[in-house]
Structure 1
Amino acid sequence: MTTAWPGFDNERFADAATVMKALGDPVRLRLLSEVAAHPGGEACVCDISGPFDLSQSTISHHLKVLREAGLVTSERRSTWVYYRINASVLQQLSGFLEDLSAVQGESRSCEDWQ
């Protein structure tokens, strides 16, 4: 299925959905914020688990979801894994939402979708 709007294809929709699904959990949104705000722009679970009433393993699971969606990158150092925001994925999502907003209200006929 193709779309009638230039710049939108199934892959772009799927990529945006993956990122939005990862961001659809309040804990993951807070974790993303904690990592971004941490000095040096990176943090390990031990650095950011304080504000959460969750185990380190649960926080690690949420960070794994963010990593799999491309929202954070990770680097193992000794026994700890450090996470850093992947700004390019956030910029891609922002661009997707801006493009989607730009087509709001544009009229399309059924023939445009065939």
Structure 2
Amino acid sequence: MSYQSIHIQIKEMIFSKDVSIVEFQFWLAEVETFLCQQQNFVLVVRSVAGTTFPQEYRQIQANWYKKNKANFFKYCVGLVRIALDQVDQERLNTPALHVAWQVPYYVTLDRADALQWAVQRWLLCNA
């Protein structure tokens, strides 16, 4: 074929205010779309100060992760968390979280840095 079109798959997700169960499930469904399409992607995730999540969100996420982890490991080529401040960065950048996600994981305070890292991860895995 003499034509090729390439899409860099970076999904930036921003949580704010009071996140409902429906919104949280919508986020998981968006990620699952990449898995169903068998496309490599990088996630960039941040929460605005004061964001709250439903009490059940950890269990919902754990169930989703258990169901989808094989494909998540296969197609998620990186996960970036944008921290609110230095304390949040330390909370998000623990060895336990690096191990738990089992994909390249990066925590930064800066959105531009997060997006630059995401592009580099995507390019590295799609060369």
TM-score range, shorter chain: under 0.3
Q: Where is the strand percentage greater, Structure 1 or Structure 2?
A: 2
- Greater Rg, structure 1 or structure 2? 1
**Structure richer in helix, relative to its length:** 1
